[in-house]
Structure 1
Amino acid sequence: MTVTDSAHVCIITGQRWSAACAYLHPSLSRPNLTALNGALATRVLFEGTRAVGVEYERNGNIERAYADKEVILSGGAINSPQLLLLSGVGDEKHLKSMDIPVVTHRPGVGQNLQDHLEIYVQQACSQPITLYRAQKPLRMLAIGIEWMLKFTGQGSSAHLHTGGFIRSAPGVLHPDVQFHFLPSQVIDHGRTSPTAEAYQVHVGPMRPTSRGWIKLNSRDPREHPVIEANYLTTKQDVWEVRQCVKMSREVFAQPAFNHFRGREIRPGPEVNSDAEIDAAVRTLADSAYHPSCTCKMGDPEDPTTVVDPETRVIGIEGLRVVDASIMPSIVSGNLNAPTIMLAEKAADIIRGLAPLPPCHVPVYSPPTLETQR
């Protein structure tokens, strides 16, 4: 198991540093950039099969922005395929059922949806060292005031600094399960306050084999699309999440936790058999918020492919997609840094820069690969 005691984070002097802070805000003063907020893109505009601009709604008005060269969609794995479908790029049968004129038939748009599913394994803590008291109203107020004044203290951290990757079974070439450790109890994604001193791991498989899809619910761009993640629809995925629970319990049973270990809160000591674990997973598992792969990149001859290796939408001129939706398969970890890397690479392609020379870094293969997890 590979363990990190200080995960890479996007925090500078106690403040979260988003991609907008790093890339967009420093460029807002450029004369060739206009950024609009409160604008909802409603469709891509076409002349034949060439993208010529974007229609959007702002302050109740429908407006249009035209492109001299290209239109680039970066709406993410949910909105990019939704916008393509609203614009007539997608499965012909689905578009006609929505009464949307077909610009080009790309049946892969909105297909191949992949996400990381995770379950929280929670353990009561016998020592008062978790974030339980930090989430009491008065303490939260004090933490908030300190952060607003100095950007320091418990409000300056996401507290998910310890984690690790492990192979679910002998013979797996590279780690396929990820752990995040948190010194707190999370209930309903944090919308409900913790009920006890506790710690937990967020744990789940990195390379799921289940595939979902996204389709339009209506022609109204303000309406959410239909999202079917299809979690746990393969035996492999069911087995891997079950292993995640078992491995988490194995970690929490180690001597290092002897002075802190209370009773298991979730899924609970009464959940032991494979069938009981599987039932608990289906009740308790959550999305890790990593939707991806819905406009996958690949061979233009593959009908399920949406963009080519240059990020251009196949069958369309002047239109690219650059976000996590173009990943052919989900990465074995969090999506933030890989998506930024993907965008950096796409920017080089769009600017016509030569690719960097290949870097042949050997991949470590443990001598116990075939015999130990």
Structure 2
Amino acid sequence: MDRFDYVIVGAGSAGCVLTSRLSEDPNTSVCVLEAGPSDWHPYIHLPAGFIKTFHMKSINWAYQQEPGPWTGGRSIYAPRGKTLGGSSSINGHIYNRGQRMDFDTWAQMGNRGWGYADVLPYFRRLEKRIGEGEETYRGRDGNLIVTTMNWRDPLCEAFMEGAVSLGIPRNPDYNGKTQEGVSYCQRTINNGLRVSGATAFLKPAMKRPNVHVRTHAHATEIIFEGKRAVGVRYMKGGRGGHPVEVRANKEVILSGGSYNSPQLLQLSGIGSPDLLQQHGIAVRHALPVGEGLQDHYAPRTVARVKDIKTINELRRGFSLWIEALKWATQRKGLLSLSPTMVYCFWHSGESAESSDLQLTFTPASYKEGVQGQLEDEPGMTVASWQQRPESRGYVRIRSSDPFAPPIIQTNYLDAELDRRVIVGGMKLARRLLKSAPLSPYYAYEDFPGPNVNSDDEFLAAATERGTTTFHPGCTCRMGPADSTWAVVDDQLRVHGLEGLRVIDASVMPRMISANLNASTMMIADRASDLIRGKAPMEAARIPEAAVA
């Protein structure tokens, strides 16, 4: 039985950053358990390979959500990374931090040290920003390379001109002073290759002798002595493999993500007593583990395109060979792109004090409104979603079998506010696609279609075809011990237990106005200082006028 100072379960975005930071001390040993394989597959590193990794079960947990009352009885696909780098190895490459008020709200909920001024230094420490950005907000010396899309497409340009015509300004840096506006996407792609948590943080750390990474290691249970976590049991090779134990001299850290971290806690006897007893698991400690799941839900408005080629055509036949040659020789062209190219942040109505809508534009369209399978006809797509949903669901074990996928119920659109905002987003998406600058290329609206006009009709369309944006969070929420909903404290230690932390997107107490990868890395970076007992980085001095 091997012993290490820290055992980290999950080599995703958080686990990679933690491993890098904790192993800076040569006297500290770190063991990382990853259920999936190494990130060797070429589709991981080819940006356009996102389309392929989306369904590759060898590197993807490929979960399915439970049908909800506002998803038309559909079970929505929920991919999550299962390889070194986790979801940062299969995601859409987007780098998006969120708004200042997101993190200030975390602090207002009783989480000391998690306000925007507190976390901004960690965002800056992580990144190496190539491109525009004020030094107050952007980092230049970190491991995570962040670039702006450099492929100029006439449809993207026309879309942004259309946004400006509707009063939405261009914003050179939505991760800077303010998020509102429209711009090309910032992404974790450099020289035509994906920059994942593994390539940016884990691989450099693996050169150190005190880092031990074990792949194909499916964690099955946390080992306790009394109330203290002292190790992890896992199956080497997955189901049918052989059991192994590793011990932690200092701490066990769960970084499996918003589905897998609560699942492992529940399998280890931490959670709702009723749920655990239902599956024959002895209750070690009662906590609301898995409750509070939030995600962004997006209907995608699709228009047919005329008089110009879209990605739908460029990815076929001779055109694809040309694009492949561009990538092979120059690391440029279609294969070097993220699936989303333009971001737009705006208001669903006049009463919203800050942008509550996030919209994305792609000069492509997908079958049945689902990313991952391009259509044959030329098309363009605007996905629109509410940034701060009120609806909450849950993640619960299906059985005591650690290889059974968890029950994932997101309860999309359960809150009336969410339904109202999603309708506002679809209406704005239609206005953007029908704006004058896009008119030379706009043929007609394919979905939801010109016959959809009332709020009820828009809502029905959202119910019929909306999907996840792959941003699950909030299932092991951070908060004070006297709150009924919190699982970890503001040091990310599990309430009522010792030697155990959760460090990933599951600790977010409330959904942020953004994709989650950037903030998950920030959480891990700040947590690394908490674990090591280091003084936190000095809070940022932010101009009063800033509303990022």
TM normalised by structure 1 equals 0.94
Distance across 1 between alignment mates of 2:329 and 2:546: 46
Confirm or deny: 8 A CA contact 1:119 1:204 kept in the other structure: yes
Residue 293 (structure 1) aligns with: 474
- The match for 1:124 among 296, 304, 308 is 304
Give 1:94 deviation, angstroms. 0.9
Residue 225 (structure 1) aligns with: 406
Structure 1 residues 237 and 28, CA gap change in structure 2 (3 angstroms): same
Q: Unpaired segments of 5 or more residues in structure 1?
A: 366-373
Residue 461 (structure 2) aligns with: 280
Distance across 1 between alignment mates of 2:245 and 2:207: 22
1:181 counterpart = 2:361: yes
- The match for 2:277 among 73, 76, 96 is 96
Query: SS of 1:30's equivalent?
Result: coil
Residue 12 (structure 1) aligns with: 190
Distance across 1 between alignment mates of 2:324 and 2:404: 35
- The match for 1:310 among 481, 491, 512 is 491
Query: SS of 2:520's equivalent?
Result: helix
Q: How does 1:1-373 map to 2 (within 5 A)?
A: 1=168, 2-59=180-237, 60-106=241-287, 108-148=288-328, 150-188=330-368, 189-361=370-542, 362-364=544-546
Confirm or deny: 8 A CA contact 2:308 2:441 kept in the other structure: no
Confirm or deny: 8 A CA contact 2:383 2:429 kept in the other structure: no
Confirm or deny: 8 A CA contact 1:307 1:313 kept in the other structure: yes
Residue 368 (structure 1) aligns with: none
Give 1:306 deviation, angstroms. 0.3
Give 1:18 deviation, angstroms. 0.4
Confirm or deny: 8 A CA contact 1:127 1:197 kept in the other structure: no
Confirm or deny: 8 A CA contact 2:349 2:424 kept in the other structure: no
Give 1:276 deviation, angstroms. 1.2
Compare 51-60 and 122-131 and name the one that shifted more. Answer: 122-131
Distance across 1 between alignment mates of 2:357 and 2:545: 18
CA deviations on 1:123-172 (whole Å, 9 max, x unpaired) are: 11122231121122443344345434543221011152311101212232
Query: SS of 2:426's equivalent?
Result: helix
The one-letter amino acid of 2:315's match is Q
Query: SS of 1:35's equivalent?
Result: strand
Distance across 1 between alignment mates of 2:545 and 2:284: 44
Percentage identity across aligned positions?
35
Confirm or deny: 8 A CA contact 2:313 2:377 kept in the other structure: no
Distance across 1 between alignment mates of 2:267 and 2:322: 47
Query: SS of 2:462's equivalent?
Result: helix
Alignment: residue pair count: 365
Confirm or deny: 8 A CA contact 1:159 1:183 kept in the other structure: no
Distance across 2 between alignment mates of 1:354 and 1:284: 48
Give 1:92 deviation, angstroms. 1.1
Confirm or deny: 8 A CA contact 1:69 1:318 kept in the other structure: yes
RMSD (CA atoms): 1.7
Distance across 1 between alignment mates of 2:527 and 2:347: 31
Confirm or deny: 8 A CA contact 1:125 1:197 kept in the other structure: yes
Query: SS of 1:185's equivalent?
Result: coil
CA deviations on 1:288-343 (whole Å, 9 max, x unpaired) are: 00000000000111121000000100011000000000000011011111111111
Q: Unpaired segments of 5 or more residues in structure 2?
A: 1-167, 169-179
Query: SS of 1:34's equivalent?
Result: strand
The one-letter amino acid of 2:439's match is N
The one-letter amino acid of 1:325's match is S
